[in-house]
Amino acid sequence: MKASVKIILKKTMLNDGTFPINLRITINRKSKFYKTPYNVLPKFWNNKANEFTSKFPNYLQCNRILNSIKQDASKILNIMIEEGHNYSLESFDSLFRPEEVKKLSFIAYFEERKLQLKESGKISSSCSYRDTISALMRFRPTIITYDFTKINYDFLIAFESHLRAHDCNDGGIGVYMRNIRAIYNSAIKSKIVSGEFYPFKDYIISKLKSSKVKKALSKQDLQLLLDYDISENKEGAKALYAYLFSFYCRGMNFTDVAELKWEDVDLSSFSYIRNKTQVKLNVKIPDNNYTRTILNYFKIYRPFDTDYIFPILDKDEKLYTKEELRDRKKSVLNYYGKLLNIIALQCGIKNKVTFYTARHTFATISLKKGINTVMIKQALGHQSIKTTETYLEDFNTTDLDFAFENLI
């Protein structure tokens, strides 16, 4: 009577490009395979040791789970001998209970999905998953040991309360919750957890819609920024000037402003491909005192040895990984946001000022100028007119009365 127990990577590729990890039981030269909770890319699997490599997220815990599965199977084979069972695959199958196999933990599965997104080039989604995992770990460090059944309605309510206590708004909470919901749905489809435990039957994400916040600055508030004495806050100059450049250059996104080089600008115009939509845009820089001051400032202020106009990236973008590039931009964007709000407070501006309000302000003032929505859509680089309309949906009759005012 010969038998073997082995954890293997099967050679059948799944639709997402990964391969299933199975438990293989061989008795008298006949084999049967049992699913484990894992699918993996081959580069994260050590075929000699039959375990995850150290580059796989939570590899130690995952290897422990696989080893536990293997040990459980070995115990059943021993029981078959000790209790005189018929030594066959059928007997083993009758004693082996797949539901007793330890399930992949919630965080381990989350990490696995995050990695798959990164491998497929979906860096933004991968980073969003990473941020959600970090928020969950800060909330409850022991969550690394939780299976999916512990992520229930009460957990979600407690997590939401924690986020609110740390000044996270409805929009941010909604992002975290939608990521958790996506992971839970995926785990149900993978049969890692039963649908009966699904917490989003009771926890409603739609209630987390962001409250209407006026994103665009008024013409008066924008003028306050334009008149701001930058000598009072030299550190804030780089943030304010980048913000005003974005406004004057048709609401150019921060990620695109960051990558604009001096060589891209031909006299007073430039072309660029918008990162978000891959739409090519041609922009003429308005010739006024403000834009001249901005460009002249950054010809002198050069903290990094790069060809970029704005000191956002500290090295060439090609020297970053996709994730590093996103993190660098996000870090500087957050810092600039803090600098902008200090300036806004000093100017007496009541609304919160973020870099993104430059884009909304451009769209708003353009509409008040009398520019039609189609032209605004083209200027913003939107692929759909509906997207442009969401920028302009908060206008009331009084706003529209000023449709023919001049742009600043």
pLDDT at position 102: 46
pLDDT at 397 over 60: no
Q: Indicate the average pLDDT of the chain.
A: 86
pLDDT at position 279: 87
Least confident of 94-98, 167-171, 184-188, 278-282: 94-98
**Where are the domains positioned within the chain?**
3-100, 106-208, 219-400
pLDDT at position 408: 56
Digit-coded pLDDT (tens) for 2-14:
789 999 999 988 8
CA 66/CA 55 separation, integer angstroms: 16
CA 122/CA 113 separation, integer angstroms: 11
pLDDT at 406 over 80: no
pLDDT at 109 over 80: yes
Residue among 83, 70, 81 nearest 21 (CA): 70
Residue among 305, 328, 329 nearest 315 (CA): 305
Q: In what helix (H) or strand (E) does residue 270 lie, and over which residues does it extend? A: strand 269-273
Q: Report percent pLDDT > 70 for the chain.
A: 91
pLDDT at position 394: 54
pLDDT at position 35: 85
DSSP tag of 395: -
Digit-coded pLDDT (tens) for 205-243:
876 655 455 578 999 999 999 999 998 788 999 999 999
Burial of 290 (0-12, 13-18, 19+ CB in 10 A): middle
Least confident of 142-151, 278-287, 319-328, 386-395: 386-395
pLDDT at 179 over 90: yes
∠ Cα 52 57 59 (to 5°): 35
Phi, psi of 366 (to 5 degrees): -65, -45
Least confident of 39-43, 83-87, 366-370, 398-402: 398-402
Indicate the pTM of the whole model: 0.59
Q: Which residue has the higher pLDDT, 72 or 357?
A: 357
Digit-coded pLDDT (tens) for 120-144:
888 888 999 999 999 999 999 889 8
> Mean of the pLDDT values across residues 364-389?
86
pLDDT at position 407: 52
pLDDT at 314 over 50: yes
> Mean of the pLDDT values across residues 341-356?
91
pLDDT at position 349: 93
Q: Report percent pLDDT > 90 for the chain.
A: 48
Fold of 219-400: hpI Integrase; Chain A (1.10.443)
pLDDT at 99 over 50: no
Strand 19-27: give its sheet, edge to edge. 3-9, 19-27, 30-40
pLDDT at position 403: 44
CA 361, 367, 373, 375 torsion: positive or negative? negative
pLDDT at position 3: 85
pLDDT at position 331: 93
pLDDT at position 405: 44
Digit-coded pLDDT (tens) for 22-57:
999 998 888 999 888 888 999 999 999 999 999 887
CB 128 within 8 A of CB 136: no
CA 166/CA 169 separation, integer angstroms: 9
> Mean of the pLDDT values across residues 150-163?
94
